[in-house]
Amino acid sequence: MTLTLDHLRKSYDERLVVDDVCLEIEDGEIFGLLGPNGAGKTTTMSIVAGLVNADAGEVRLGGDVLNTRDPERRRVLGVVPQDLAIYPDLSGLENLCFFGSMHGFSRAELRQRVDRTLEQVGLTEHARRLAGTYSGGMKRRLNFAAAILHDPQLLILDEPTVGVDPQSRSHLLDVVRRLGSGNTIVIYASHYMEEVEAVCRRAAIMDHGRIIVCGEISNLLEQVDEAMTVDVGTWNDAVARRLQDSVTVTATKTGTHLKIRPGGASGLTDPGCELARVLSILAEERIPIGRVDTHEASLERLFLELTGRTLRDG
């Protein structure tokens, strides 16, 4: 089964917030959706969830228009919102029984599902405690449990691990991986790029309402060069001539900053080999080295290169 977002558009007054968004996400896929604040991610996910009407385009699941305003069709959907959607005055068990009762399960099936889901998110031994007494990570896990209790075909995760401890984050990511190994379509929206790299095979980056890149993460990372830099304290014409095709030189207050260019005069395309060659020449010329930095290609670097480093507040 495929989730299709077909030329979605949405405006608020004169501001276009979703601009001709097209995506296809397959069964069993965990798909990363990235973008700075105000990029259109939340509005896009709200359209998929049926919380916002698109001005144009449609959402299809398995070829049929996904109308989540229909109670029967709503059962295919699970949503983990960024803001907690649990009742602090109910226990974890009571929260899940309440949310599960909306799906029409028999009492026996509901209890079986609740017990299974509590086990999935690691809350079995805390099931009878009031949710308001839970730690932040436990509340996030309960929030997650309420969305997967009914085995949704489509699961939307909006910053599901924000503000949680490392143990809870690791546990939730394991649960997401297991869901993705089945028949659930998962949309994973997060500002934690390393999480998206860890659980998603494909991802899209949105900005100003549009999809600016989309594809397999391994292919997206090929667009980002590994950054290797060397800071040296002194510089002279002889070494400048030897390295002129291999480095970009920037003068700083404390010395000279060299950025390695793979495939320079040596023809070496491996950044590590090119760095070794540059360091060897610097040693031959007796140039003191102050600092060497290497930065691997990552989604975060690609994200910043495509969307900029300016602060976004909404």
pLDDT digits (tens, 9 = 90+) for 7-45: 999 999 889 999 999 999 998 999 999 988 888 999 999
Mean pLDDT of 235-247: 84
Mean pLDDT of 121-146: 94
**44/126 same-domain check:** yes
Q: Which of 22-31, 231-240, 303-312 has the lowest mean pLDDT?
A: 303-312
What is the tally of structural domains in the chain?
Answer: 2
What is the pLDDT of the chain when averaged over all its residues?
86
pLDDT score of 99: 93
Query: What interhelical angle do 107-120 and 92-101 show, nearest 10?
Result: 130
Q: Domain for residue 309, yes or no?
A: no
**56/10 same-domain check:** yes
Mean pLDDT of 222-243: 80
pLDDT score of 273: 80
Phi, psi of 268 (to 5 degrees): -75, 130
pLDDT score of 259: 80
Mean pLDDT of 125-142: 94
**101/60 same-domain check:** yes
In degrees, to the nearest 5, what angle opens at C-alpha 306 toward C-alphas 300 and 311?
Answer: 75
Of the candidates 99, 126, 135, the one whose C-alpha atom is nearest the C-alpha of residue 114 is 99
Rg, Å, the chain Cα set? 25
Last residue of a domain, one of 187, 222, 257: 222
Q: Is the pLDDT of residue 314 over 70?
A: no
259: exposed, middle or buried (C-beta count within 10 Å: 0-12, 13-18, 19+)?
middle
Distance of CA 93 to the CA centre of its chain: 30
Residue 72 tokens read as 């029967």
- Which residues are 247's β-sheet partners? 260
**109/251 same-domain check:** no
Kindly report the CATH number assigned to the domain that includes residue 261. 3.30.70.120
Total H helices, total E strands in the chain? 11, 14
Mean pLDDT of 227-250: 83
Q: Domain for residue 308, yes or no?
A: no
**138/66 same-domain check:** yes
Q: Domain for residue 123, yes or no?
A: yes
Q: Is the CA virtual torsion 116, 119, 125, 128 positive or negative?
A: negative
Higher pLDDT, 55 or 14: 55
Residue 123 tokens read as 């809350």
Distance of CA 89 to the CA centre of its chain: 32
Confidence of residue 109 (pLDDT cuts 50, 70, 90): very high
Higher pLDDT, 153 or 75: 153
Q: Is the pLDDT of residue 237 over 90?
A: no
Q: Is the pLDDT of residue 60 over 80?
A: yes
pLDDT per residue as tens digits for the range 150-207? 999 999 999 888 888 888 889 889 999 988 887 899 999 988 888 998 999 999 999 9
**201/249 same-domain check:** no
**167/248 same-domain check:** no
**108/200 same-domain check:** yes
**191/97 same-domain check:** yes
Kindly report the CATH number assigned to the domain that includes residue 169. 3.40.50.300
Q: Is the pLDDT of residue 269 over 80?
A: no
The continuous run of DSSP H or E covering 56 comes out as: strand 56-61
Mean pLDDT of 289-313: 71
pLDDT score of 306: 75
Q: Is the pLDDT of residue 286 over 70?
A: yes
Higher pLDDT, 297 or 190: 190
Q: What is the pTM of this model?
A: 0.78
**111/256 same-domain check:** no
Q: Give me the domain span that covers residue 286.
A: 225-296
